[in-house]
Amino acid sequence: MQLPRLDTRELLAIYAGGVIGAVTRVGLLEALPYADGEWPWATFAANMAGAVLLGLLVTRLQERLPPSTYRRPLLGTGLCGAMTTFATLQLELFDMLEGGYAALAAGYAAATLCVGFACVHLATAAARRTRRVR
Protein backbone atom coordinates (compact mmCIF):
# COMPACT_ATOMS: atom_id res chain seq x y z
CA MET A 1 0.00 0.00 0.00
CA GLN A 2 1.18 3.43 -0.84
CA LEU A 3 -0.22 6.88 -0.24
CA PRO A 4 -0.92 9.09 -3.23
CA ARG A 5 1.13 12.26 -3.49
CA LEU A 6 -0.01 14.57 -0.74
CA ASP A 7 -0.85 18.19 -1.41
CA THR A 8 -0.26 20.30 1.71
CA ARG A 9 -2.99 22.79 0.85
CA GLU A 10 -5.46 19.96 0.28
CA LEU A 11 -4.56 18.51 3.70
CA LEU A 12 -4.99 21.95 5.30
CA ALA A 13 -8.41 22.29 3.65
CA ILE A 14 -9.48 18.89 5.05
CA TYR A 15 -8.18 19.86 8.50
CA ALA A 16 -10.00 23.21 8.48
CA GLY A 17 -13.25 21.59 7.34
CA GLY A 18 -12.82 18.92 10.02
CA VAL A 19 -12.46 21.53 12.77
CA ILE A 20 -15.67 23.28 11.71
CA GLY A 21 -17.54 20.00 11.30
CA ALA A 22 -16.50 18.69 14.73
CA VAL A 23 -17.44 21.94 16.51
CA THR A 24 -20.81 22.04 14.70
CA ARG A 25 -21.64 18.45 15.65
CA VAL A 26 -20.59 18.83 19.30
CA GLY A 27 -22.50 22.13 19.41
CA LEU A 28 -25.61 20.18 18.44
CA LEU A 29 -24.83 17.55 21.10
CA GLU A 30 -24.58 20.31 23.72
CA ALA A 31 -27.78 22.00 22.53
CA LEU A 32 -29.82 18.79 22.30
CA PRO A 33 -28.72 16.47 25.12
CA TYR A 34 -30.56 13.17 25.42
CA ALA A 35 -31.19 10.71 28.23
CA ASP A 36 -31.30 6.91 28.20
CA GLY A 37 -34.19 5.61 26.15
CA GLU A 38 -34.62 8.84 24.16
CA TRP A 39 -34.08 9.59 20.49
CA PRO A 40 -30.57 11.05 19.89
CA TRP A 41 -31.72 14.12 17.95
CA ALA A 42 -28.31 15.80 17.86
CA THR A 43 -26.52 12.94 16.07
CA PHE A 44 -29.56 12.32 13.88
CA ALA A 45 -29.74 15.98 12.81
CA ALA A 46 -25.99 16.24 12.19
CA ASN A 47 -25.99 13.06 10.10
CA MET A 48 -28.99 14.06 7.99
CA ALA A 49 -27.76 17.62 7.42
CA GLY A 50 -24.33 16.31 6.42
CA ALA A 51 -25.89 13.78 4.02
CA VAL A 52 -27.89 16.55 2.29
CA LEU A 53 -24.85 18.83 2.06
CA LEU A 54 -22.54 16.12 0.73
CA GLY A 55 -25.12 14.98 -1.86
CA LEU A 56 -25.54 18.56 -3.11
CA LEU A 57 -21.83 19.33 -3.03
CA VAL A 58 -20.45 16.24 -4.72
CA THR A 59 -23.12 16.23 -7.43
CA ARG A 60 -22.55 19.92 -8.20
CA LEU A 61 -18.77 19.60 -8.17
CA GLN A 62 -18.73 16.48 -10.35
CA GLU A 63 -21.54 17.31 -12.75
CA ARG A 64 -22.32 21.02 -12.70
CA LEU A 65 -19.29 23.16 -11.87
CA PRO A 66 -15.89 23.61 -13.51
CA PRO A 67 -13.10 21.63 -11.79
CA SER A 68 -12.12 23.04 -8.39
CA THR A 69 -9.18 22.01 -6.26
CA TYR A 70 -10.12 22.76 -2.68
CA ARG A 71 -13.91 22.75 -2.40
CA ARG A 72 -14.28 19.00 -2.11
CA PRO A 73 -11.54 18.53 0.53
CA LEU A 74 -12.74 21.53 2.56
CA LEU A 75 -16.51 21.03 2.38
CA GLY A 76 -16.83 17.34 1.53
CA THR A 77 -14.04 15.38 3.20
CA GLY A 78 -13.52 17.94 5.95
CA LEU A 79 -16.85 19.57 6.85
CA CYS A 80 -19.47 16.96 5.87
CA GLY A 81 -17.20 14.07 6.83
CA ALA A 82 -16.57 15.44 10.32
CA MET A 83 -20.04 16.88 10.92
CA THR A 84 -21.50 13.41 10.40
CA THR A 85 -20.44 10.45 12.48
CA PHE A 86 -20.67 6.71 12.35
CA ALA A 87 -18.99 5.71 15.62
CA THR A 88 -21.30 7.84 17.79
CA LEU A 89 -24.33 6.43 15.98
CA GLN A 90 -23.14 2.89 16.67
CA LEU A 91 -22.37 3.61 20.33
CA GLU A 92 -25.86 5.12 20.73
CA LEU A 93 -27.35 1.93 19.22
CA PHE A 94 -25.16 -0.22 21.48
CA ASP A 95 -26.27 1.72 24.58
CA MET A 96 -29.93 1.41 23.55
CA LEU A 97 -29.60 -2.36 23.16
CA GLU A 98 -27.73 -2.68 26.47
CA GLY A 99 -30.36 -0.57 28.21
CA GLY A 100 -33.16 -2.81 26.92
CA TYR A 101 -34.53 -0.32 24.38
CA ALA A 102 -34.46 -2.73 21.45
CA ALA A 103 -37.45 -1.20 19.63
CA LEU A 104 -35.91 2.27 19.89
CA ALA A 105 -32.60 0.93 18.56
CA ALA A 106 -34.32 -0.75 15.60
CA GLY A 107 -36.30 2.39 14.82
CA TYR A 108 -33.26 4.66 15.15
CA ALA A 109 -31.10 2.42 12.92
CA ALA A 110 -33.82 2.09 10.27
CA ALA A 111 -34.66 5.80 10.29
CA THR A 112 -30.99 6.82 10.11
CA LEU A 113 -30.29 4.60 7.09
CA CYS A 114 -33.59 5.27 5.25
CA VAL A 115 -33.76 9.03 5.84
CA GLY A 116 -30.00 9.37 5.27
CA PHE A 117 -30.26 7.60 1.94
CA ALA A 118 -33.29 9.70 0.98
CA CYS A 119 -31.33 12.87 1.89
CA VAL A 120 -28.50 11.97 -0.52
CA HIS A 121 -30.97 10.91 -3.21
CA LEU A 122 -33.05 14.10 -3.05
CA ALA A 123 -29.99 16.35 -2.76
CA THR A 124 -28.47 14.67 -5.83
CA ALA A 125 -31.70 15.14 -7.80
CA ALA A 126 -31.94 18.79 -6.70
CA ALA A 127 -28.34 19.49 -7.75
CA ARG A 128 -28.99 17.90 -11.16
CA ARG A 129 -31.91 20.23 -11.76
CA THR A 130 -29.57 23.23 -11.65
CA ARG A 131 -27.86 24.61 -14.72
CA ARG A 132 -24.37 23.48 -15.67
CA VAL A 133 -21.77 26.22 -15.13
CA ARG A 134 -18.89 26.35 -17.59
Partner 1 sequence: MSAATWAALGLVGGAGALARFLLDALVSERGDSFPFGTLAVNLSGAVLLGLLAGIALDGGARTIVASGGLGSYTTFSTLMLESHRLGETGRPRLLWLNLVLSLAAGLIAVAIGHLIGAAL
Distance of closest approach, residue 100 Cβ to partner 1, in angstroms: 16
Distance of closest approach, residue 14 Cβ to partner 1, in angstroms: 5
Residue 2, classified by CB atoms within 10 Å of its CB into exposed (0-12), middle (13-18) or buried (19+), is exposed
Q: Which is nearer to partner 1, 61 or 134 (CB)?
A: 61
Q: Which is nearer to partner 1, 104 or 120 (CB)?
A: 120
Q: Which stretch binds partner 1 (CB under 8 A): 25-33, 63-71, 126-134?
A: 25-33
Q: Which stretch binds partner 1 (CB under 8 A): 32-40, 63-71, 113-121, 126-134?
A: 113-121
